[in-house]
């Protein structure tokens, strides 16, 4: 039950962050909210650039904001967009989630919410790199 309430909070934060999306090129607004182990929430939106490849996805912005304040232990990240089916994070964002071991990922549109473990979204993320353990 506690977890459920947390998810509601995260969703509200992610939808609110989406309002700030800077997406003049794709016109596709995305919001993200990440919750730390101690219950703090940090948010992000996508930030595009005329040089398209410089675009930052909402989830990476949210994680970056959290890390910049010293928060690194995450419980859940939520990503939202007004799509027909719940949005699916790009490979780069999955890798960043893996870097900070975000265990649970919620993907949502206006009517549907899917929950995944990071391992489902990016299996064997760290295996074999510099002998780092998963």
At residue 76's C-alpha, the angle toward residues 102 and 18, to 5°, is 110
**Region binding ligand THU by CB under 6 A among candidate stretches 5-13, 87-95, 112-120, 125-133:** 87-95
Give whichever of 39 and 110 is closer to ligand THU, judged by the CB atom. Answer: 110
Does the protein bind ligand THU through residue 46 (CB under 6 A)? Answer: yes
Give whichever of 53 and 128 is closer to ligand THU, judged by the CB atom. Answer: 53
Task: Count how many residues are written for the chain.
Answer: 134
**Interface with ligand THU by CB under 6 A: which residues?**
23, 26, 28, 30, 46, 48, 55, 57-59, 79, 87, 89-90, 93
């Amino acid at each position: 039950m506690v977890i459920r309430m947390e998810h509601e909070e995260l969703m509200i934060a992610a939808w609110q962050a989406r309002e700030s999306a800077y997406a003049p090129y794709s016109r596709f607004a995305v919001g993200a909210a990440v919750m730390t182990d101690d219950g703090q929430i940090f948010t992000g939106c996508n930030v595009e650039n005329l040089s398209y490849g410089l675009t930052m996805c909402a989830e990476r912005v949210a994680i970056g904001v959290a890390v910049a304040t010293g928060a690194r232990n995450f419980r859940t990240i939520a990503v939202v967009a007004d799509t027909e089916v719940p949005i699916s994070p790009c490979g780069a964002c999955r890798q960043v989630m893996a870097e900070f071991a975000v265990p649970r990922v919620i993907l949502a549109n206006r009517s549907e919410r899917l929950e995944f473990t990071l391992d489902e979204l990016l299996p064997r993320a760290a295996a074999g790199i510099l002998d780092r353990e998963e």
